[in-house]
Chains A and B, each alone.
Chain A
């Protein structure tokens, strides 16, 4: 396990961002999108050139316990895709959603996709989620999110993972 329990929230979020970045580096259609660590406020969103996949901080849900000592943390995390007039229609957000679902529903692909990430000044290269101590239990589509502009399209997902 490489995520630090003392920085578990940040480290896990960075790993998922790095996972998305690895897919984006792999070519189309992922390369049509970019990532953002955290929720993109309006000023951030306006600076982005492509539809964005953003990550939000994981939330600790419960302990997978064992008697006699420490347990394993179960976390919930939201991330989303936001196309704010970058393409002009709903087609692209649907493609982003489909690719995200395909990635997270195929547990083998998800846990064997390699990425590079830096945690606390230490660089990790060619690592998988499992290598980093993260195992995803499942994904849920929480649906389309309201936007002020009807030409903007935003969708969010919820994942549960152990770390």
Chain B
């Protein structure tokens, strides 16, 4: 490399346009199905993951003038979804899995819990819709909303956040969400794909518990809450095995992983 180097022109596929991107979602607490079918998201103008913030961030110092340790915990990524304003309420209801129709006409602005609503996969494509890469927003929680209708057109804005890192997915791969009703006597669950992709290498396990799944999660019915397995689960080939605490019959098991696009 020399200081006089001239770079070649970037390839055409360096330039991606939002209009070619496709967004689709699954509801986190979907009915048992392997796989859960993704639903395409219409009317989207943009999906933006903002800068991470940390609920707890501080330095640990000690006497003796040694190096300090910087601690960052409780990350949160804000997410903004802009949609055509006439469809905002429809999209808002869909992402929260709320029936908003003549049978149930009220859609509250207020969200009363902090539990995950949906997973959004944004598929970034070239002009001929060749897949370039994707972005997966896992366990997105939709926030309280607001509404305006100014004289000049403005998009409808839906905001949310996630406590788990969004991630890119390489070209030619797509996210898969499998959900099972738990079976206490059976510790293995068959993935809908027999060959899940290796997602991260062991040395890149930053916040990841498995190298071939973003998460394996349990709905603990007795505790009325979700929790992510950090130990006691493994995925080998197309089989998910729970080796630790076994779920109860009223529990559900969820996993998000990636496979090669068929």
Contact = CB atoms under 8 A, between A and B. Distances in A.
Given A67-B18, A68-B23, A68-B44, 20 more contacts: A63-B19, A64-B84, A65-B18, A65-B19, A65-B45, A66-B19, A66-B44, A66-B45, A66-B84, A67-B19, A67-B21, A67-B22, A67-B44, A67-B46, A68-B19, A68-B20, A68-B22, A68-B40, A69-B22, A71-B19
Interface string A44-65: 0000000000000000000111
Nearest to A70: B19
Interface of B: 18-23, 40-47, 84
A66 B46 CA distance: 9
A104 B42 CA distance: 30
Interface of A: 63-69, 71
Per DSSP, are chain A's interface residues mostly helix, strand or loop, or mixed?
loop
B40 A67 contact: no
Contacts of B21: 67-68
28 contacts: A63-B19, A64-B84, A65-B19, A65-B45, A66-B19, A66-B42, A66-B43, A66-B84, A67-B18, A67-B19, A67-B20, A67-B21, A67-B22, A67-B23, A67-B44, A67-B46, A67-B47, A68-B19, A68-B20, A68-B21, A68-B22, A68-B23, A68-B41, A68-B42, A68-B44, A69-B22, A69-B42, A71-B19
Contacts of B22: 67-69
A66 B47 CA distance: 11
A121 B192 CA distance: 50
B129 to A, nearest CB: 10
B89 to A, nearest CB: 16
A53 to B, nearest CB: 30
Contacts of A63: 19
3 interchain residue pairs of minimum CB distance: A68-B22, A67-B44, A67-B21
A93 B91 CA distance: 48
Contacts of A68: 19-23, 40-42, 44
B37 to A, nearest CB: 16
A71 B18 CA distance: 12
Contacts of A66: 19, 42-45, 84
A69 B44 CA distance: 10
Contacts of A64: 84
Contacts of A67: 18-23, 44-47
Nearest to A72: B84
Contacts of B40: 68
Contacts of B23: 67-68
B104 to A, nearest CB: 26
Find the residue from B19, B22, B23, B46 having the highest chain A CB count within 10 A: B19
Contacts of B84: 64, 66
A65 B22 CA distance: 13
Contacts of B43: 66
A138 to B, nearest CB: 12
A64 B43 CA distance: 10
